[in-house]
């Protein structure tokens, strides 16, 4: 065993599993503690409100005495007694605020959708805080914007030019003003209408685009300029007008598991090495295409089957009798292949099989 790791955040399964594969004893604080997270951790503790997380982390650190503390979504800029392995709280806080991300891109001459003046439409409205694209909304009139404000009256937001294109991302490892791109990925969004339309719904790697190398070079430049440490993700839109940077994620990304499945490269180990000033010399080679999609509940439901029978084609496996609200994530599903269409076909086949179970819950 290399040491004891505590992983804390809204969703930790992907990081905890990577840490275990790297040879660590892993403990987790997670909002769900799904089945496969418990299989890969020595202890798993849940929480309900993010405000309670700092106290739970501090208590767990006293009890577990971890050698390494890492955080995931929702906890990027959390304040706790033990040093977090990764970007500083100040740096993480900068890049969890979309207005500050916009300023960073503009100050460094990075191509980014423009901020629109009031009353110019269509506009992409993005809450300054929040992850996964939740609540990002296109409005075409003042009436629609007023409706957005009425739904979230105390939520600051930015008004961006809307760019049509392909959502994609690059996973990087950064340290001391340097960075190495690990993989370029295609992103899947939830689609439809409403506050969840631009929500993250999965990804595939590698991104089969002629612009992949250009994306990776630009991501390395951004990651190096950011001053972040460890795993960092850059979101882009690839459009007919060029490449637009969209966001910076100063934490482990949801693409971690498909990258590791595709390449065999361990991102947790690379993150820890980056905290020691060591970067990968080369980007890992992809051995296959891997796609992942998240299945969301179309109505309130109670899980009535044990879905671990589908493992390892699925992850984030709920417990039997778990109650999931409409719109909530049920589980993740994977597909693999020698091409992206093969991986997506494999993925869709498993989704259809699982849907037969979900339909009777």
| Residue-level pLDDT, tens digit, the chain, 361 residues | 899 999 999 999 999 999 999 999 999 999 999 999 999 999 999 999 999 999 999 999 999 999 999 999 999 999 999 999 999 999 999 999 999 999 999 999 999 999 999 999 999 999 998 877 778 999 999 999 999 999 989 899 999 999 999 999 999 999 999 999 999 999 999 987 777 789 899 999 999 999 999 999 999 999 999 999 999 999 999 999 999 999 999 999 999 999 999 999 999 999 999 999 999 999 999 999 999 999 999 999 999 999 999 999 999 999 999 999 999 999 999 999 999 999 999 999 999 999 999 999 9
Cα separation of 342 and 95, whole Å? 36
Which domains does the chain possess?
A: 4-85 (3.40.50.20), 108-160 (no CATH), 289-358 (no CATH)
**Structure-block tokens of residue 347:** 């993925």
Candidates 169, 280, 167, 259; CA nearest to 218 is: 169
- Helix 13-21 to helix 267-275 angle (10° resolution) is 80
Tell me if 138 sits within 8 A of 122, measured CB to CB.
yes
pTM: 0.96
In 77-235, which residue ranges form alpha helices assigned H by DSSP? 89-94, 98-107, 142-151, 212-226
**Structure-block tokens of residue 85:** 């392995």
Q: pLDDT per residue over 228-263, tens digit each? A: 999 999 999 999 999 999 999 999 999 999 999 999
């Amino acid at each position: 065993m290399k040491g004891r790791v505590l992983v804390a955040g809204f969703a930790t399964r992907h990081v905890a599993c990577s840490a275990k594969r790297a040879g660590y004893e892993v403990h987790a604080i997670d909002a769900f503690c799904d089945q496969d997270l418990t299989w890969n951790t020595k202890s798993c503790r849940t929480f309900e409100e993010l405000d309670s997380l700092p106290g739970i982390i501090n208590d767990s650190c006293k009890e577990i005495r971890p050698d390494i503390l890492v955080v995931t979504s929702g906890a990027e800029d959390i304040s706790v007694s033990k040093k977090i392995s990764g970007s500083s709280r100040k740096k993480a806080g900068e890049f969890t605020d979309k207005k500050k991300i916009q300023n960073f891109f503009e100050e460094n001459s990075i191509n980014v959708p423009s901020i629109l003046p009031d009353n110019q439409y269509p506009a992409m409205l993005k809450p300054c805080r929040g992850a996964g694209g939740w609540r990002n909304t296109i409005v075409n009139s003042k009436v629609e914007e007023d409706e957005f404000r009425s739904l979230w009256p105390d939520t600051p937001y930015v008004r961006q030019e809307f760019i049509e294109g392909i959502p994609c991302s690059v996973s990087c490892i950064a340290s001391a003003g340097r960075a190495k791109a690990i993989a370029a990925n295609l992103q899947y969004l939830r689609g439809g209408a409403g506050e969840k339309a631009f929500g993250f719904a999965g990804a595939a790697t590698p991104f089969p685009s002629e612009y992949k190398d250009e994306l990776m070079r630009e991501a390395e430049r951004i990651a190096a300029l950011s001053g972040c440490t460890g795993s960092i993700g850059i979101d882009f839109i690839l459009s007919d007008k060029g490449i637009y940077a969209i966001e910076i994620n100063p934490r482990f990304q949801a693409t971690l598991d498909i990258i590791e499945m595709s390449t065999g490269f361990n991102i947790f180990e690379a993150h820890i090495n980056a905290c020691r000033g060591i970067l990968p010399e080369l980007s890992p080679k992809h051995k296959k295409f891997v796609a992942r999609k998240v299945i969301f509940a179309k109505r309130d439901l109670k899980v009535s089957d044990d879905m671990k029978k589908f493992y390892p084609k699925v992850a984030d496996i709920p417990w039997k009798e778990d109650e999931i609200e409409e719109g909530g994530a049920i589980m993740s599903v994977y597909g693999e292949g020698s091409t992206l269409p093969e991986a997506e076909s494999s993925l869709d086949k498993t989704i259809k099989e699982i849907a037969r179970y979900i339909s009777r819950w």
